[in-house]
Amino acid sequence: MNPFLRLLNELETPFCRRWNRAHQRPWLLRPFALVSRLGNGVFWYSLIAVLPVVDGLDGLEAAVHMLLMGGIALILYKSLKGRTRRIRPCHYAADIAASVPPLDRYSFPSGHTLHAVNFSTIALFYYPQLGWLLIPFTLLVAASRVVLGLHYPTDVLVASAIGLGLAYSSLLLVA
3-class DSSP assignment, residue 127: coil
7-49 pLDDT tens trace: 888 898 998 888 887 767 777 788 888 999 999 889 999 999 9
Choose among 124, 159, 135, 145: nearest CA to 35: 145
Helices 153-174 and 3-20, axial angle in degrees (round to 10): 100
The pTM score is 0.92
**Residues in CB range of 134: below 8 A, 6 or more apart:** 120, 123, 124
Confidence at residue 19, expressed as pLDDT on a 0 to 100 scale: 84
Topology given in CATH for the domain delimited by 3-174: Vanadium-containing Chloroperoxidase; domain 2 (1.10.606)
Separation CA 121–CA 165 (nearest Å): 10
| Cα–Cα dist 153/163, whole Å | 15
Q: Which has the closest alpha carbon to 44: 147, 167, 155?
A: 167
Which SS3 state, helix, strand or coil, does residue 104 take? coil
For residue range 42-100, list pLDDT tens digits in order: 999 999 999 999 999 999 999 999 999 999 999 999 999 989 999 999 888 888 888 88
Burial class (CB in 10 A: 0-12, 13-18, 19+), 3: exposed
163 vs 175: CA distance, rounded Å: 18
pLDDT tens for each residue of 137-171: 999 999 999 999 899 999 999 999 999 999 999 99
The pLDDT of residue 69 is 97
